[in-house]
């Protein structure tokens, strides 16, 4: 899924000038991959992400928004994981509780809150920021040449519902389904996917998506046309084979010389050019005939042959 990766790296590099939005993004990171460790001394905070650019963004947001020291640790891949994981960590300190409260991630007793924090709802910029950060952790997008599908795969229902409501607040239609592990919020309409990418701030991805969409639609249109033409050709070939069968039957039983001249000419032309369309057949006749005239004669010819076939059968 190259497109997913492109969107992620574009989003991870966006500037985050507003403090309210930085907090909204951080809240999404905590809800998505945050792990709180409490000890007798103090609380520490860890967020695990899979992408180094996303880890750098998270670290930057933290340091710009809160006066804390934070670090990124790399967890090397072992046999169980395919990729490295990146831990953004705030070491044990009294500051951790302040961060959690400011982000409405837990209450004073460190009980985690569910869904999208209330402060995120207040501004549309923050709703977009929350969607952006949660897409960075949970999101993926099918390559637009292959189909239209954008999704958030999240662990718990309250977050899935929250994402769906945030999307609805921007009039984006989404579906919610349950998977083996967790829940998926998905967007299927090309128009809506475009809107989501724009909301997230992935402007160059929007352009690429729209280009791919146009190409795909043109290609589908061409395929439909080709299928339609192929079907017509098949039909014409089948019809021609049937005509040849009938004409040969007549020739065997009565002889083509017993046909009226105009019909005989059409019959001979058909036997000589089995693959020709009716319009092409008309070009082999003298004088030349148009498609509808050939069609007319062919029908009379076949009706005549069938009348003879009936007579032969009755005579038996
Ligand atoms: Zn904001």
Ligand 1 centre distance from Cα of residue 294 (Å)? 74
Ligand 1 centre distance from Cα of residue 129 (Å)? 7
Domain 2-201 of CATH type 3.10.28.10 = yes
Ligand 1 centre distance from Cα of residue 166 (Å)? 14
> How far apart, in whole angstroms, are the C-alpha atoms of residue 56 and residue 62?
10
pLDDT in tens, 205-238: 999 999 888 888 888 888 888 888 788 878 888 8
Number of other CB atoms surrounding residue 154 within 10 Å: 23
- 178 CB-contact burial (10 Å; exposed 0-12 / middle 13-18 / buried 19+): exposed
Q: If you search the block for the tokens 């092409």, which residue do you land on?
A: 280
Ligand 1 centre distance from Cα of residue 25 (Å)? 9
Ligand 1 centre distance from Cα of residue 126 (Å)? 4
pLDDT in tens, 80-120: 656 788 989 888 887 888 888 899 888 877 777 888 999 99
Ligand 1 centre distance from Cα of residue 124 (Å)? 7
Ligand 1 centre distance from Cα of residue 65 (Å)? 13
Angle subtended at Cα 33 by Cα 30 and Cα 38, rounded to the nearest 5 degrees: 70
pLDDT in tens, 118-137: 999 999 999 999 999 999 99
Ligand 1 centre distance from Cα of residue 182 (Å)? 28
Instruction: Please report which confidence band the pLDDT of residue 13 belongs to, taking 50, 70 and 90 as the band edges.
Output: very high
pLDDT in tens, 32-82: 766 767 665 678 888 888 889 999 999 999 999 998 888 999 988 766 656
233-251 burial, b for 16+ CB within 10 Å, e for fewer? Answer: eeeeeeebeebeebbeebb
pLDDT in tens, 123-178: 999 999 999 999 999 999 999 888 899 999 998 899 999 999 999 999 999 999 99
Of the two residues 160 and 316, the one the predictor is more confident about is 160
Instruction: Please report which confidence band the pLDDT of residue 316 belongs to, taking 50, 70 and 90 as the band edges.
Output: low
> How far apart, in whole angstroms, are the C-alpha atoms of residue 205 and residue 40?
47
Ligand 1 centre distance from Cα of residue 253 (Å)? 89
Ligand 1 centre distance from Cα of residue 125 (Å)? 4
pLDDT in tens, 288-315: 999 999 999 999 999 989 888 888 877 7
- Judge contact between 23 and 218, C-beta under 8 A: no
Ligand 1 centre distance from Cα of residue 63 (Å)? 17
Q: Please state the pTM of the whole predicted model.
A: 0.70
User: What value does the mean pLDDT of the chain take?
Assistant: 89
Q: Where in the chain is the domain with CATH 3.10.28.10?
A: 2-201
Number of other CB atoms surrounding residue 279 within 10 Å: 14
Instruction: Please report which confidence band the pLDDT of residue 281 belongs to, taking 50, 70 and 90 as the band edges.
Output: very high
Ligand 1 centre distance from Cα of residue 121 (Å)? 9
Instruction: Give the mean model confidence (pLDDT) for residues 261-280.
Output: 91
Ligand 1 centre distance from Cα of residue 206 (Å)? 22
Going from the C-alpha of 114 to that of each of 86, 95, 144, 231, the distances in angstroms are 24, 22, 33, 56
**Model pLDDT, residue 164:** 96
Ligand 1 centre distance from Cα of residue 102 (Å)? 14
**Model pLDDT, residue 169:** 95
Q: Is 200 left (phi over 0), alpha (psi -120 to 50) or beta?
A: alpha
> How far apart, in whole angstroms, are the C-alpha atoms of residue 23 and residue 57?
13
Two tokens, residue 123: 């501004």
Ligand 1 centre distance from Cα of residue 164 (Å)? 19
- Taking only Cα atoms into account, the Rg of the chain, rounded to an integer number of angstroms, comes to 35
Ligand 1 centre distance from Cα of residue 24 (Å)? 7
Instruction: Please report which confidence band the pLDDT of residue 202 belongs to, taking 50, 70 and 90 as the band edges.
Output: very high
**Of 17, 58, 4, 52, nearest to 34 (Cα)?**
58
Ligand 1 centre distance from Cα of residue 93 (Å)? 27
3-state secondary structure (DSSP) of residue 86: strand
CA neighbours closer than 13 Å in the CB half-sphere of residue 52: 6
Two tokens, residue 118: 């209330």
């Amino acid at each position: 899924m190259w497109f997913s990766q492109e969107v992620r790296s574009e989003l991870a590099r966006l500037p985050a000038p507003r403090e309210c939005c930085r907090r909204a993004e951080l809240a999404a990171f905590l809800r998505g991959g945050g792990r709180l460790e409490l000890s007798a001394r103090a609380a520490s905070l860890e967020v695990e992400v899979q992408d180094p650019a996303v880890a750098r963004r998270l670290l930057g947001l933290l340091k710009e928004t809160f006066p804390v020291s934070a670090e990124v640790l790399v967890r090397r891949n072992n046999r169980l994981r395919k990729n490295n994981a990146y831990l953004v960590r705030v070491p044990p300190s009294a500051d951790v509780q302040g961060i959690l409260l400011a982000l409405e991630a837990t209450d004073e007793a460190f009980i985690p809150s569910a869904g999208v924090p209330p402060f995120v709802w207040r501004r549309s910029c923050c709703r977009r920021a929350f969607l952006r950060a949660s897409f960075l952790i949970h999101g993926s997008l099918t390559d637009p040449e292959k189909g239209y599908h954008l999704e958030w795969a999240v662990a718990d229902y309250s977050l899935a519902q929250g994402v769906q409501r945030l999307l609805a607040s921007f009039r984006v239609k989404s579906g919610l389904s349950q998977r083996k592990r967790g829940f998926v919020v998905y967007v299927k309409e090309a128009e809506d996917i475009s809107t989501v990418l724009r909301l997230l701030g992935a402007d160059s991805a929007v352009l690429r998506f729209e280009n791919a969409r146009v190409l795909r639609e043109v290609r589908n249109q061409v395929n439909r046309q080709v299928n339609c033409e192929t079907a017509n050709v098949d039909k014409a070939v089948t019809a021609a084979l049937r005509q040849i069968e009938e004409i040969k039957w007549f020739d065997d039983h009565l002889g083509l010389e017993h046909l009226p001249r105009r019909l005989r000419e059409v019959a001979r032309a058909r036997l000589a050019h089995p693959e020709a369309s009716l319009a092409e057949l008309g070009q082999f006749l003298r004088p030349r005939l148009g498609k509808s005239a050939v069609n007319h004669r062919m029908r009379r010819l076949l009706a005549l042959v069938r009348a003879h076939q009936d007579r032969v059968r009755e005579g038996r």
